[in-house]
Structure 1
Amino acid sequence: KMHEIMGNLTDQTVNGSCQGPTSACNKSADGDALELPTFSTAAKVRVIITFALCAVSAVCNLAVLWAASSGGRRKSHVRILIMNLTVADLLVTFIVMPVDAVWNITVQWQAGDVACRLLMFMKLVAMYSCAFVTVVISLDRQSAILNPLGISEAKRKSKVMLAVAWTMSVILSLPQMFIFRNVTITVPEKFTQCTTHGSFVQRWQETLYNMFTFVCLFLLPLAIMIFCYTRILIEISSRMARNNFLSRDVHLRRSHNNIPKARMRTLKMSIVIVTSFIICWTPYYLLGLWYWLFPEKMEKTVSHSLTHMLFIFGLFNACLDPITYGLFTIHFHKGMRRCRQSSNARTELENNTRLVQMIRLSSRRQIASDVHSASTEVVSESNIMKHVSNPDMSISKI
C-alpha cells in the first residue's frame, strides 16, 4: 500500500480486481488469481516501530509545546511559529501514525465510509501543515536575516503566513473527502478497503492528481526552503567577508555580542532543517513518483519491506522537528530550565516543610520534657520544704 502518507494512492489489490464499488470478482488486472493482503512479518515490524515513534514524537513535541507556551503572556513570533509546527507534528503523531499502525493490523478497512473519508482528509491536512509551516519558518528566517530592521512587522507577517498555510492545508486536502470511499469485494472472500477506486474515469486523471499533490506537498516546499536558506547562507557569508576588512579590535568587540551567535544558530538550524526534510521524505516520495508513473514495474521491483522502511523513515521527521526547532532555540532551553527550577523548587519546598514539621515536633517534645522536669523539681522541692519545716516528724519516724 502506497497511500498511507499521501492519502490519495489506490490499493492495487482492490483496484486491480474490481470494476465497481461493490463488484464481486476473483481476478487481478493481469488475469491472475486475486491474492488478498495479509498481516505480514514486515507489517508487524512496521507497526511496532510506528507505535514507538508515536510515543517518542508525542513526548518530544508536547515538551516543546509546553516550553514554548509557558513563560509569560507575550510570546515572540518565533515561538508562535514553533508552536504551530509542533501542533502540525502532533497531528501527524496522533492521526497519521495510529491510523497507519491500526490499518496494518486489521489489513482491511473496518471503520466505515465516513471515517474513511474523514481520516484520509485529516491525514493529508497533517502532512500539508507540516510542510507549509516549515516553509513559513523558512520565509521568516530569511526576512530576519536579510531585513533585520523589519522586526516590528515580522510578527504580523508570520501570523498572516500561518493563516495562509493552515487554510491552504485544509483546501488542498478537501478532495480526499470525495475521492476516497469504502470498496468491498466478495470473492474469494469479503474484503473491504478504503481506496480511491472508481473515483477517476481515466488512469491519467489519478496520475495528474497524485502529481499535483506531490508538487504541493514536497517539491514546492523543498524548493522554497532551499531558496530561502541559500539566500541566508549567502548573506551570512557576505557579512563575514565584510567583517574581515575590519580591524582586529573591532572584530573582537563584535564577537562578544549576540549577533554572531544568532547567525551561527540560524546557520546550524538551517542546515538541519533542509537536511532532515530531504533525508526523511525524498526516498518515500520518489518511490511514490515511481509508483504513479510505472506501477506495474515498481510492484515487481520493490519489495514491501522497503516500502515499509521508507514510510517509517519519513515519519521520523516528526521526531526530528522538536529537536531541530527546540534545541536550537533559546526559549526551549529557558522553558526546560524553568521546568527543572520549578521541580527543584517544589522539592526544596517539600523538604523545607518536612524540616519545619520535624523542628516543631522536636520543640513540642522538648517543651513537654521541660514541663515534666519542672513539675518533678517542684514536687521534690515541696517535699524538701515539708521535711525542713517538720524536722521532728522525720526523726520520730526514724
Structure 2
Amino acid sequence: MGEEEIALQVALNETTEINTYDFYATEQLAVLWVLFLLIVLGNSSVLLALAFNKNRKSRMNYFIMQLAIADLAVGLISVLTDIVWRVTIAWHAGNVACKVIRYLQVLVTYGSTYVLVALSIDRYDAIKHPMKFSGSWRRAKLLVVIAWAVSAIFSLPILVLYEEKLVQGQLQCWIELPYQWQWQLYMTVVSVALFFIPAIIITACYTVIVSTIWRKGSTIIVIKRSYKGISTDKVRLEHDHESRRASSRGLIPKAKVKTVKMTFVIVFVFIVCWSPYIVFDLLQVYGYVPKTQTNIAVATFIQSLAPLNSAANPLIYCLFSTRDPPQQDMSQMGEDLGAALGGSISTTLSDSLRRGRRTSDRRGT
C-alpha cells in the first residue's frame, strides 16, 4: 500500500547515510511476487466460482464478490506497483502519476478493509435483528457504497502529502514531513483509520453475533417417528436450560460451532496480518525502535506482508461457505437461525427445510 515506505522514510529523516538499495533485495521481491500471485489467483477464482454459482444472487455472495473485487484491486494496483517501484528503485512517472497511483494504492487498501466491515455489519443485522432484517438489496449496496466512500475520504491526504522528491540522488514518490511530531500524528491517524476502527467494529459485530446465538439459540433435537410405516423426523427447538444441557452432551448446533470458528478466523487473520505492520511503525515513529539499517530492513519485510490479508480473505470465506449443504449458504443459515431466536418452534424437518428454501428465494439473502 502507499504507506509501506513510511517506516523507511521516517528512518531516513535522521539516518541519511543508510543506502536504500540494501532494502530491495531479491528476497523482498520474491515475497511480493508470491503475495501478488496468491491475491490475484485466489480472488479471481472466487469471482469465477460466483459467476457459475446458481445462488450467486444471494446477499452473502454479493458481499463475498465485493470483497474479492477489493482484494483483487489490492493485488493489481497496490502490490504490483510496489513490485515495480522496488525493481526500478527510482520514480520515473512524474508528479501527477505519483499522487494518483499512491492515492489508488491507499484507496484499495482501505476499501478491502471496510468492505469486510460492511459484511460484518450485515451479518450482525441478520442475526441480532432478524425480524427487521428484510434482506433488501438496497441496504446491502448502501453498505458497500459507504465502505468505499469512507475509504475515499480517508485516502484524500495522500493527494497532498505525496510528491516527487529527490532522495539520495534519485527521484522518488515520497512523503516529506520535516518534524518528528508530524510523522507521529500521521502514523497514529493511519493506524486508527486502517486498523483500530475496523478491528473494533468487526470484533464487536461478531461478538454480538456469537453472544446472541449462544444466549437465545435453540438446540435442534431430531426425533424419529414412525406413522403408518412412514418414518418422519421431527425437529424441536428448545431454549435456555435445555440448550445448555444439550451442549454438555455434545449436541451444540452446527450453526453455533461454525459461527464461533468463523468469528475466530476472521478476527484472528485480520489482526495477525495487520498488527505487525501497525505496531512496528508506531514503535518506530515514537522512537522505541532504534533507527539502524537492520531494523529498517526488518521493517520493509514486515510491511511487505500487510497485503497478506487480501490473500487470506477468499480462503476464509470459501472455506466456510462450502461447508454448508447444497440447499443452504451462510446467509440463509444466519437468517433461519435468527428467525428461530424469538421462541420455541416445533415442526417437521421437511417443513423446516422447505420454509428455509422459500425464505432464501424470497429475501435473496
TM-score between both structures, scaled by the size of structure 1: 0.68
Q: How does 1:91-130 map to 2 (within 5 A)?
A: 91-130=73-112
Gaps of 5+ in 2: 225-232, 238-251, 327-365
Pick from 163, 168, 175 the counterpart of residue 181 of structure 1: 163
Length, aligned pairs only: 304
Contact 1:79 1:331 in 2 (8 A): no
Whether 1:78 and 2:54 are equivalent positions in the alignment is: no
Residue 390 of structure 1 aligns with which residue? none
Higher-strand-fraction structure: 2
Name 2:32's counterpart in structure 1: 50
Aligned with 2:9 (options 8, 11, 21): 11
1:133/1:332 CA distance change after superposition, 3 Å: farther
Distance change in 2, residues 1:139/1:211 (3 Å): same
Q: Does 1 or 2 have the higher relative contact order (CA < 8 Å, sep 6+)?
A: 2
Partner SS state of residue 57, structure 2: coil
Matched, 1:303 2:303: no
> Contact conserved, 1:327 with 1:333, CA < 8 A, in 2?
no
Q: Does 1:226 align with 2:203?
A: yes
**Which structure features the higher share of helix residues?**
1
Q: Does 1:282 align with 2:275?
A: yes
- Residue pair 1:64, 1:86 contacting (<8 A) in 2 also: yes
Q: Is the 8 A contact 2:18 2:293 kept in 1?
A: no
RMSD: 3.2
Q: CA deviation at 1:267?
A: 2.9
For the pair shown, the structure with the greater C-alpha radius of gyration is: 1
Q: Partner amino acid for 1:78?
A: M
The reply on whether 1:324 has 2:316 as its aligned counterpart is yes
SS in structure 1 of the partner of residue 164 of structure 2? strand
Residue 10 of structure 1: how far off its partner (Å):
6.9
Q: For residues 91 and 248 of structure 1, do their structure 2 counterparts lie closer, same or farther at Cα, with a shift above 3 Å needed?
A: closer
Task: Tell whether 2:119 aligns with 1:137.
Answer: yes
Match among 187, 194, 201 for residue 173 of structure 2: 194
- State the AA in 2 paired with 1:37: T
d(CA) in 2 for partners of 1:205, 1:267:
41
Closer, same or farther in 2 for the Cα pair 1:81/1:267, shift >3 Å?
Answer: same
The Cα of 1:107 is off from its aligned counterpart by: 2.2
The question of whether the paired residues in 2 share the 8 Å contact of 1:46 and 1:312 is answered with: yes
Local SS of the residue matching 2:306: helix
Q: Could you state the TM-score of these two structures normalised by the residue count of structure 2?
A: 0.73
Counterpart among 214, 222, 230 of residue 237 in structure 1 = 214
Between the aligned residues of both structures, percent identity stands at 28
Q: Is the contact made by 2:221 and 2:236 (CA closer than 8 Å) also made in structure 1?
A: no
Shift of 1:88: 0.9
Change over 3 Å in CA distance of 1:111–1:333 after alignment to 2: farther
Give SS of 1:303's match.
helix
> Within 1, Cα distance between the matches of 2:41 and 2:3?
22
SS at match of 2:173: strand
AA aligned opposite 2:108: A
Shift of 1:35: 4.0
What is the alpha-carbon distance in structure 1 between the residues aligned to residue 77 and residue 195 of structure 2? 20
Provide Cα deviations, 1:84-113, integer angstroms capped at 9, x if missing partner.
111110111111111222222222323321
SS at match of 1:234: helix
Q: Which residue of 2 aligns with 1:209?
A: 186
From 38, 49, 53, the equivalent of 1:67 is 49
